[in-house]
Structure 1
């Protein structure tokens, strides 16, 4: 379940930092009862950015498949081995 805190609780930075590191989800901050910000630990941020990169690469690969832009695996390996004398 997501954690939601009011912006006035942001004064206690040590407690907020501990909450961010203890949670596997972002923490939502409200202002006047409405969503205002989302905070998370650096580790979680890096993981989310990594997965976003993976998903964007998967989408690009799927688009290449639908356009027929694919190479034969055996032929590709053979050309790489010939090029680098492996």
Structure 2
């Protein structure tokens, strides 16, 4: 976990951007010793958003399954997951 004071973003923007890109991890910024912001590169953010969307879809499908609603075949699921993984 990379934690920096909020002033670091003004003083060392390029350094923080490089850290985000190289590690694919967010940098946590503090203000007066308390957590304030999280900064990450756009690729990492996009990947996380896609993964969250996939998790939401899978949860919805599981809820449908538990409620007894019909689903899809294993082949259909395999094709769908291959497409989603390719996007990520």
Smaller-chain TM-score bracket = 0.7 to 0.9
Secondary structure of 1:16's aligned partner: helix
Cα deviation, 1:2-56, whole Å, max 9, x if unaligned, reads: 0000011112211111111112221100000000000000000000000000100
CA RMSD in angstroms, aligned pairs only? 1.3
Matched with 1:10 is 9
- Larger Rg: 1 or 2? 1
- TM-score with structure 2 length normalisation? 0.76
Aligned residues: 72
Give the alignment's TM-score, normalised by structure 1: 0.78
Gaps of 5+ in 2: 74-88
Runs of 4+ in 1 over 2 A off after TM superposition: none
Structure 1: stretches of 5+ with no match in the other structure: 74-86
